[in-house]
Amino acid sequence: MPSNKHASFRYRILNECFSNRGHRKWSLDDLIETVSQCLQEDFGINLTVSKRTIQGDINVMRSAKPRGFSAPIKCQMGFYFYKDPDYTIEKNALGQEEQDLLREAVSLLRQLPGLPQLPALEMLLKRVNNNSPVNVISQAWIKFETNPAVHGLEWLGTIYKAIAEQQVILLEYHPFTADPMEILLHPYLLKEWHNRWYIFGRNDQDKLWNLALDRIEHISIQEMEEFKSNDLFDPETWFDDIVGVSKQEGASVIEILFETSYLSSRYLETRPIHPSQQLIHQENGIYRFSLKVILNHEVVNELLRFGNEIKVIGPAEVVEILQVRSGRS
């Protein structure tokens, strides 16, 4: 098909006109006026297409692939329309490579339960390739670390939809160490950490909160509440200086130093605790690393996970916390 950007644009406008048969009829003059107006609005140029150009576009659209679209354009009494009212040039726009990519995307998204787009994507895939059922050709070649028994996964779809549609939600939330409460939240982000999902959003005091989905007991959409856009944090950078999902307001980055053996050092170099991790010294089989992060319970848990394989040597605050948590104080 022609690569001229104005030609491709004109085909889409003509397609919309012909697909709109039930609302009005389209003469050549009508098509010229509509296409010219859309070109001016979208490209910001004073461009008027000619009668010959529109006639040429119609001939291309009628042409067989790959030159055209095999579009069933009819003309009666000087008015143009699609003979098949359900036809659109967009219907078969996906080539084989695009269909394969769509199948792979669907197979990956299937591993995240409750996403509202998944049924629509599967239906789209069936429409573009009716001869190949999705459940036969979408075998997953990548498996995420998912646990269907984890509580809270049932809220993923509801929260995702609320974020996408900018809707305020009311949560019935039950913390581990407090009574149940109601929380009004403007949701901004879903984040997974160690097979557990969290929602980040603005509470009614205009503070950034993150809440675990497995502590949510009910969610309702608050249609009458005006949604406040996210001006509290940048999801692209907010996690740069932390391990996990929690960050104390006003906290500063500290440097954590720890030592380990050769074998553990090889593991840590291939799977660092945090992107800031660096090997800063090695001598006599002892490997010293540094982390530059904000102190939170997630980084403490990560250090404790290694048990006796690593020895934290500073700062004193972190050493003391680890001793208390491990029962060595």
- Name the pTM for this structure: 0.64
Q: What is the Cα–Cα distance from 189 to 235, expressed in whole angstroms?
A: 8
Q: Does domain 153-221 have CATH number 2.30.30?
A: yes
Q: What is the pLDDT of residue 209?
A: 94
Q: What is the pLDDT of residue 93?
A: 56
Closest CA to 156 of 183, 185, 117: 117
**Four-residue CA torsion sign, 302, 304, 305, 306:** positive
Q: What is the Cα–Cα distance from 124 to 134, expressed in whole angstroms?
A: 10
* Domain chopping of the chain, boundaries: 5-82, 96-137, 153-221, 253-326
Q: What is the Cα–Cα distance from 126 to 105, expressed in whole angstroms?
A: 14
Q: What is the pLDDT of residue 1?
A: 40
CATH class of 253-326: alpha beta
The list of the chain residues with pLDDT below 70 reads 1-5, 20-24, 43-46, 91-99, 108, 110-111, 113-149, 328-329
> In Å, how far are 6, 79, 309 from 53, measured between CA atoms?
11, 17, 75
Closest CA to 219 of 176, 184, 179: 184
Helix H or strand E encompassing 80: strand 79-82
Peptide bond into 315 cis (omega under 30): yes
Q: What is the pLDDT of residue 161?
A: 87
Q: What is the Cα–Cα distance from 242 to 151, expressed in whole angstroms?
A: 25
Peptide bond into 66 cis (omega under 30): yes
Local structure of 6: helix, strand or coil: helix
Closest CA to 112 of 165, 162, 152, 171: 152
55-82: burial string, b at 16+ Cβ within 10 Å, e else: eebbebbeeeeeebbebebeeeeeebbb
167-206: burial string, b at 16+ Cβ within 10 Å, e else: bbbebebeeeeeeeeeeebbbbbbeeeeebbbbbbbeeee
Largest CA distance in the chain: 94
Q: What is the Cα–Cα distance from 287 to 307, expressed in whole angstroms?
A: 16
Report pLDDT digits (tens) over 248-275: 888 999 999 999 999 999 999 999 999 9
First to last CA, the chain: 74
Q: What is the Cα–Cα distance from 174 to 163, expressed in whole angstroms?
A: 22
> In Å, how far are 254, 257, 323 from 316, measured between CA atoms?
11, 10, 10
Q: What is the pLDDT of residue 115?
A: 66
